[in-house]
Structure 1
Amino acid sequence: MAAKPRYKELADELREEILSGTYKADAFPTESDLCKRYAVSRFTVREALRSLQTEGLISRKRGSGTSIQPAAARGGALHQPLSNVAEILQYARNTRAVFDPLGEGPLPRNIAEQLGLVAGGRWSRFQGLRTRADSTEPLAHTVAYVHESLRDIATKISPGEDTIFKQIERLAKINFVKVTQDIQAIAASADVAKALGIPKRAPTLRILRCYHDAADRILEISASHHPGNRFAYSMHIDIEG
């Protein structure tokens, strides 16, 4: 696997410091300070800061330097890139989730049709809310479906212990090699709205993730609904020459 570009690593470190409150709003380091502190080029620093600006975490003005955007200006959202498995795990570490098993049930028709799968079956289901460590306000309502071939493994899953897919890997001794994401803006159903504390049919961002093993079997599916004002999705695309 290719190493993450240095500017992305720097952006990750600075993002964590910003979200943890390390810097005061008007006391963010200058480009020169960051170059010296991290022993990187000015280009690397600028690319990292550009990423954070795109995420809405900082504001940059010529002649005024860099300042941290207040939470109110960010809409109270969790700004988190989710472009690879490592960043999904980082998202899980930066937040907390409390899940409950729902027993076995069918894969819903609307999800199956979107993914090109067969609805029904006896999938093991888990449901819960994800929050930030410093807040009880839900960031997402998630329902996870574990394939019926892993029925015995599903009974051993403790969703509060680790991400479900990492537990499946450990318990079933398999490796997930690919995660696909389908992102769609949809209105909150009555159940989702109640769980998130938002009005019915309020806008949400639904992230539908499928976890594939080496044989390209989808062994877990998760459907997460994020309130529109509590989550911002960002990604980085490297242009290959």
Structure 2
Amino acid sequence: MSTEPASFSNASAPRYQQLTDTLIHEIRSGQYPVGSLLPPEPRLIERFGVSRHTVREAVRRLAEMGLVARRQGVGTVVRARDRDTRYLASLSSLEELMQYTQQTRLKRLGERWVEADEALAALLRCKPGQRWLEFDTCRYPASGSEPFVHMVVYVHAAYESIRHHLDEGSVWFYGLIEKHYGEAIVEVQQETCAIAMSAHSARLLGVKPRSPGLQVVRYYLGRDDRMLSVSVNVYPAERFKVATRWRLERHESPAAEPSAPPPPGD
């Protein structure tokens, strides 16, 4: 019997993603039936030759997908063979937002030049009359056939040649701007609001017009706060969820008095 660690098929992905994908495949194939337990942490570490952190991150992602549940004193129980139909993005840093693209694929529906009127200028934070290249797109899970987001992307006119490099796949607009223009995304600002789905978005996403949706606008800024691109992402309410983790850093003096509890609602 070989003692060599098992190998992964998707060697270019981060180790935690490789392990996640492998365990998803094994759950779907029936190797771990619903109601059974995943192997304990030490066994997964030994089998795949990965760190404890990698195993815990992979199991955390499986839990977020609804495939497993961690039960104290029992172990990690398999809950389902297929992930929740909603697309889940777990974002705790700009780097995780960038990795998001590797889990999805892009389909380009059309493009056109637009001149910002007052309403569009307010959205894009630019002066009225400024020209932008607008891309109409949808994104899909890497292995799925149902789009989870209708995405309209506005690219500053200075970077319009990326249109010639925009192949379908896991490509992202900011990556093309960085690659072909030497820019660097240094900050992403995000605004989220509830909306009633427009007829166009509803048709593309297969839902009823004016049904509940979530709009996420992301502003991609380069050096000197230069606006490089803006994406307007529209998600059906039942098909997307964002999980964000915040870690509180406490720096307390040994002589400090205990702090008062925060007011209700904070």
Q: TM-score, normalised by structure 1?
A: 0.78
Alignment of 1:22-37 (within 5 A): 22-23=26-27, 24=32, 25=34, 26-34=36-44, 36=46
Which of these residues, 151, 163, 168, is aligned with residue 160 of structure 1?
A: 168
Structure with the larger RCO, 1 or 2 (CA within 8 Å, 6+ apart):
1
For 2:224, give the aligned amino acid: A
- CA apart distance, 1:231: 1.8
Pair 1:215-2:263 in alignment: no
Give the secondary structure class of the aligned counterpart of 1:175.
coil
The aligned residue for residue 4 of structure 1 is none
User: How many residues are treated as equivalent by the alignment?
Assistant: 229
Greater Cα radius of gyration, structure 1 or 2: 2
The aligned residue for residue 5 of structure 1 is none
Deviations 1:33-67 (A, max 9, x none): 345556656x9866775565456443122343212
Change (3 A) 1:59 1:88: same
Change (3 A) 1:210 1:108: farther
- CA apart distance, 1:119: 4.7
Higher strand share: 1
- Kindly indicate whether the alpha-carbon contact (under 8 Å) linking 1:100 and 1:159 is maintained by their aligned counterparts in 2: no
The aligned residue for residue 185 of structure 2 is 176
The aligned residue for residue 6 of structure 1 is none
For 2:164, give the aligned amino acid: K
Pair 1:60-2:70 in alignment: yes
Alignment of 1:61-100 (within 5 A): 61-70=71-80, 74=84, 76-100=85-109
Percent identity of the aligned residues?
29
Change (3 A) 1:12 1:72: closer
For 1:29, give the aligned amino acid: P
Task: Provide the rounded CA distance (Å) in 2 between the counterparts of 1:196 and 1:108.
Answer: 27
For 2:203, give the aligned amino acid: K
- CA apart distance, 1:218: 0.8
Deviations 1:117-146 (A, max 9, x none): 445421001111111233321111111100
Give the secondary structure class of the aligned counterpart of 1:138.
coil
For 2:100, give the aligned amino acid: Y
Task: Provide the rounded CA distance (Å) in 2 between the counterparts of 1:54 and 1:21.
Answer: 16
Structure 2: 5+ residue stretches without partners: 1-13, 251-266
Pair 1:146-2:150 in alignment: no
Task: Provide the rounded CA distance (Å) in 1 between the counterparts of 2:117 and 2:199.
Answer: 16
Which of these residues, 221, 239, 260, is aligned with residue 230 of structure 1?
A: 239
The aligned residue for residue 207 of structure 2 is 198
Structure 1: 5+ residue stretches without partners: 1-8
For 1:176, give the aligned amino acid: I
The aligned residue for residue 128 of structure 1 is 137
Pair 1:103-2:112 in alignment: yes
Task: Provide the rounded CA distance (Å) in 1 between the counterparts of 2:143 and 2:247.
Answer: 33
Give the secondary structure class of the aligned counterpart of 1:226.
strand
Change (3 A) 1:85 1:165: same
For 2:149, give the aligned amino acid: A
The aligned residue for residue 198 of structure 2 is 189
- Kindly indicate whether the alpha-carbon contact (under 8 Å) linking 2:109 and 2:138 is maintained by their aligned counterparts in 1: no
The aligned residue for residue 257 of structure 2 is none
Give the secondary structure class of the aligned counterpart of 1:156.
helix
CA RMSD of aligned residues (A): 3.1
Deviations 1:171-228 (A, max 9, x none): 1122121122222222211111011110011122222111111121111011111222
